[in-house]
């Protein structure tokens, strides 16, 4: 039996009921051809969550943007879900805009953009996903996940009885993936000399990333208040994000929950930080004519530099991008003997597995170097199987 804990009277005002699994809300969204009210139901774990959803529906009715369930498309439902998540603080602004970019890819397909969910079928969705295999695996994953999530929600809301994508496997990219690599020691020294001796735009940001491991979005969002010279730390709590039109804006929080952290200012970095503070903009440390600087601007300049000054060793395989500066810092830390747990905290990784998997090659190389040192130590102690003694031992092995 469903017990009503809150009832609001009046056409379209909405009501909330207690259920076994949480709360259910109901609201009148219009009338059918016979003048009978059409009701829409929503669910949630708390009364507030349900009331927030009801308020969103009421506002869409008032503004004329409400779409009846029997006419809604998968793209429209996905957009509504994103807006709900943003309004209910489940996702941040930057995340919302990144998801909108994914949604725009789906909306380029006329079938998915214009066909009501009830009329969707397996074959056209499969054809769309197959056409996406020329893109990176990251883009394929985002598109596939968004479609699946929206269609599962459609089943949950009883717009459809079955998910037409239920049996569709996520495609794999046909695009050859080139792993982003760190700079070698020689390449890093060459870049360092260019950034400190040549008149190069965004040199301070690049140096800071290469010597602290900070993401460029985090660097471009820094203010003077984020730098504490007394305790020698840089506080990371924001990031630069892109709006719907690509315009930069400062997100109120870091890229991830673990992205909120304090970066130690080392002896090497301290003079650079002081120079940055001396040249700081009015509001943010890095500004260009009073305007925000986005990651793309810095990346384009970075690509020009490595090409103009012939920074890269063409014999070394792997892709070099602006993110390589962060990888370079991490690799040098590993080579210097830093523990993975410490590096995880500095980089802002949520899980140590991310640190270990991302820099497994560097950790393996560091491990081999240390084993070689151990061998030298054993040899100095007189423990070394060489000559006839080694042959004698090897001869006993079956």
Count CB atoms within 10 A of the CB of residue 114: 11
pLDDT at 2 over 50: no
Gap between the Cα atoms of 330 and 367, Å rounded: 15
Predicted pLDDT at 201: 94
pLDDT band for position 390 (50/70/90)? very low
| Residue 366 pLDDT | 61
Summarised one tens digit per residue, pLDDT across range 341-388 is 888 888 887 777 767 666 666 666 666 665 666 667 667 766 666 554
Decide if pLDDT at 11 tops 50. Answer: no
pTM, 2 dp:
0.62
Average pLDDT of span 194-223: 93
Most confident of 4-13, 44-53, 180-189, 304-313: 304-313
User: How confident is the model over 128-184, as pLDDT tens digits?
Assistant: 999 999 998 889 999 999 999 999 999 988 888 899 999 999 999 988 777 888 899
pLDDT value at residue 62: 66
Instruction: Give the residue carrying structure tokens 């109120």.
Output: 252
Helices (H), the chain: 47-63, 74-87, 93-107, 110-114, 122-131, 137-156, 185-197, 203-212, 216-220, 270-278, 295-308, 324-335, 340-347, 352-358, 360-381, 387-395
Higher per-residue pLDDT: 66 or 12: 66
Binning pLDDT at 50, 70 and 90, where does residue 330 land?
confident
Residue 398 CA to residue 274 CA, distance in Å, equals: 65
């Amino acid at each position: 039996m469903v017990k009503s804990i809150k009832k609001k009277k009046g056409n379209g005002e909405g009501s909330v009921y207690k259920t076994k699994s949480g709360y259910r809300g109901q609201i009148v969204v219009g009338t059918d051809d016979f003048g009978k009210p059409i009701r829409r139901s929503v669910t949630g774990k708390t009364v507030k969550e349900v009331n927030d959803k009801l308020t969103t529906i009421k506002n869409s009715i008032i503004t004329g943007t409400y779409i009846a369930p029997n006419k809604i498309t998968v793209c429209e439902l996905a957009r509504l879900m994103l807006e709900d998540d943003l309004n209910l603080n489940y996702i941040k602004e930057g995340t919302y805009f990144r998801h909108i970019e994914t949604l725009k890819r789906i909306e380029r397909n006329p079938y998915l953009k214009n066909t009501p969910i009830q009329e969707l079928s397996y074959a056209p969705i499969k054809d769309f996903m197959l056409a996406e295999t020329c893109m990176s695996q990251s883009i394929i994953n985002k598109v596939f996940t968004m479609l699946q999530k929206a269609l599962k929600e459609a089943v949950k809301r009883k717009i459809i009885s079955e998910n037409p994508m239920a049996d569709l496997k996520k495609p794999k990219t046909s695009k050859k993936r080139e792993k982003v690599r760190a700079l070698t020691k020689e390449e890093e020294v060459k870049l360092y000399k260019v950034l400190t001796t040549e008149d190069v735009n965004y040199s301070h940001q690049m140096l800071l990333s290469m010597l602290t491991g900070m993401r460029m979005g985090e660097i471009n969002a820094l203010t003077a208040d984020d730098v504490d010279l007394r305790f020698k730390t840089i506080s990371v709590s924001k990031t630069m994000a892109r709006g719907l039109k690509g315009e930069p804006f400062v997100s109120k929080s870091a890229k991830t929950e673990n992205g909120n952290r304090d970066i130690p200012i080392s002896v090497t970095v301290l003079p650079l930080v002081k120079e940055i503070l001396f040249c700081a903009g009015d509001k943010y440390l890095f500004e260009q004519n009073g305007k925000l600087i986005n990651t793309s601007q810095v990346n384009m300049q970075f690509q020009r530099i490595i090409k103009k000054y012939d920074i890269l060793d063409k014999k070394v395989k792997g892709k070099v991008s602006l993110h390589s500066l962060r990888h370079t810092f991490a690799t040098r830390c590993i080579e210097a003997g830093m523990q993975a747990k410490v590096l995880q905290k500095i980089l802002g990784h949520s899980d140590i597995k991310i640190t270990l998997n991302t820099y497994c090659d560097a950790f393996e190389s560091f491990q081999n170097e240390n084993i070689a040192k151990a061998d030298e130590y054993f040899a100095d102690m007189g423990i070394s199987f060489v000559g006839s003694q080694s042959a004698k031992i090897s001869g006993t092995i079956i």
